[in-house]
Amino acid sequence: MSTKVMEQALKLFEGPSTFAKSKVIHSTAVYMNKSDQLFTINVGERGSPRCKEDFWLLHFLRCYSDCIVTTGAILRKEQDAYNS
């Protein structure tokens, strides 16, 4: 992993220990309201605007993972993402 990528990851995750004990990582775009409750952000064509950091994070987690659980709809939409 390049130094630049690692530096970006450390900024986002507050250090590598974030994943040290994780067995399953599920990335979800959320926001916290004034009552400290998390709510899912609908990312997509009819949801929130696209954010380059979200796209970067998704691809970082894909590279970090030993395996990815996904849906048939995503496989059909992103056919080139899973070619080896």
Q: What is the pLDDT of residue 3?
A: 79
Could you give the number of structural domains in the chain? 1
The pLDDT of residue 11 is above 80: no
d(CA 29, CA 49): 12
Q: Which domain holds residue 76?
A: 26-82
d(CA 70, CA 24): 13
Share of the chain above pLDDT 90, in %: 1
**What value does the mean pLDDT of the chain take?**
76
Of 51 and 73, the structure prediction assigns the larger pLDDT to 73
> If phi over 0 gives left and psi between -120 and 50 gives alpha, with beta otherwise, what is residue 68?
beta
Contacts of 23 (CB under 8 A, 6+ apart): none
Q: What average pLDDT does the segment 19-27 reach?
A: 71
Domain membership of residue 63 (yes or no) is yes
Q: What average pLDDT does the segment 54-68 reach?
A: 78
